[in-house]
Amino acid sequence: MRTPLIVGNWKMNKTASEARTFVRDFQQLFEIPADAEVVLAPPFTALESVRSSLGPTSWIALGAQNLHWEGHGAFTGEISGAMLLDLGCRYVIVGHSERRALFGERNTDVQKKVRAAVTCGLRPILCVGESLTERETGQTEGIIAEQLSSGLDQLTAADLRAVTIAYEPVWAIGTGRAATVAQATAVHRSIRAFLAKGWNDDAAATMRILYGGSVTAQNAASLLAESDIDGALVGGACLNPDSFAKIIAAAKRNPIG
């Protein structure tokens, strides 16, 4: 059974002190743990602040926004998986479209990061998505398949149990233009079919596939009501405790599958 997963990607927002305030305000909105699994992914500089604010018994998990594929070495400015684990991270976002577009990450780079995360015990959230031009020219399924084929290369069916896929159409990220429920569902189904063909039906059935791209408190319920959509990777709307809490509340109350 697939438990809904809601991930808040803060991107380059919030200082360590602002992060403490967010966690305090956010936790006050829940009398009991949410029905979904929830992950906060602050910038590297706020990871320790968020961890200490959540406390050792929190139901909210900690995630990072990136990692390097090597475990250590002369890589100025980079962060290893072991460093993230030591800070209490359970998840790490890999291959976000902003990393691909702004920092030149290639499919081969993303694949090495996914493998590094799995190897060291982190749970990678592999982001895939097409540009507007690619969608309008009918290339969506092919682009997604290429990103998946490379990003998951050399992983076994057992390895896939640690992986989450996030479908984030590039044209919807930060634009306010979310994919329709039909558009998102179609891609999620094609991803599951790709997994079944490349690995097996069990891998496809157990993989959590999230939607990301202008997810808001207003459209979350319709997206998350679909059985093929297992949660959300949230950007701007996760920076406000109230709006993020509403998105979490829209997650299905029963395990998916």
For 96-140, write each residue's pLDDT tens digit: 999 999 999 999 999 999 999 999 999 999 999 999 999 999 999
Buried b (16+ CB within 10 A) or exposed e, 108-127: ebbbbbbbbbbebebbbbbb
Closest by CA position to 173, among listed 243, 232, 92: 232
Reported as a single tens digit per residue, the pLDDT across 64-99 is 999 999 999 999 999 999 999 999 999 999 999 999
pLDDT of residue 32: 83
pLDDT of residue 241: 97
Residue range 30-39: mean pLDDT, rounded: 90
pLDDT of residue 255: 56
Give yes or no for residue 257 having a pLDDT over 70. Answer: no
Closest by CA position to 117, among listed 63, 197, 186: 63
Query: Sorting pLDDT into bands at 50, 70 and 90, what band is 175?
Result: confident
Query: Sorting pLDDT into bands at 50, 70 and 90, what band is 252?
Result: low
Residue range 205-224: mean pLDDT, rounded: 95
pLDDT of residue 72: 97
Contact 195, 214 (CB under 8 A): no
pLDDT of residue 27: 95
Query: Sorting pLDDT into bands at 50, 70 and 90, what band is 256?
Result: low
Q: Name the residue with tokens 């808001």.
A: 216
Q: How far from each other are the two terminal CA atoms of the chain, in whole angstroms?
A: 5
Buried b (16+ CB within 10 A) or exposed e, 72-87: eeeeeeebbbebbbee
pLDDT of residue 173: 82
- DSSP bridge partners of 37: 5
Closest by CA position to 78, among listed 120, 51, 44, 125: 44
The set of catalytic residues is 96, 168
Lowest mean pLDDT of 20-24, 176-180, 201-205, name the range.
176-180
pLDDT of residue 34: 83
Give the 3-state DSSP-derived string for the chain, with helices as H, strands as E and coil as C.
CECCEEEEECCCCCCHHHHHHHHHHHHCCCCCCCCCEEEEECCHHHHHHHHHHHCCCCCEEEEECCCCCCCCCCCCCCCCHHHHHHCCCCEEEECCHHHHHHHCCCHHHHHHHHHHHHHHCCEEEEEECCCHHHHHCCCHHHHHHHHHHHHCCCCCHHHHCCCEEEECCHHHCCCCCCCCHHHHHHHHHHHHHHHHHHCCHHHHHHCEEEEECCCCCCCHHHHHCCCCCCEEEECHHHHCHHHHHHHHHCCCCCCEC
Give yes or no for residue 253 having a pLDDT over 80. Answer: no
Q: What is the largest CA-CA distance in the chain?
A: 49
How many Cα atoms sit within 13 Å of 170 on the Cβ side? 20
Please state which architecture CATH assigns to domain 68-237: Alpha-Beta Barrel (3.20)
Amino acid at 20: R
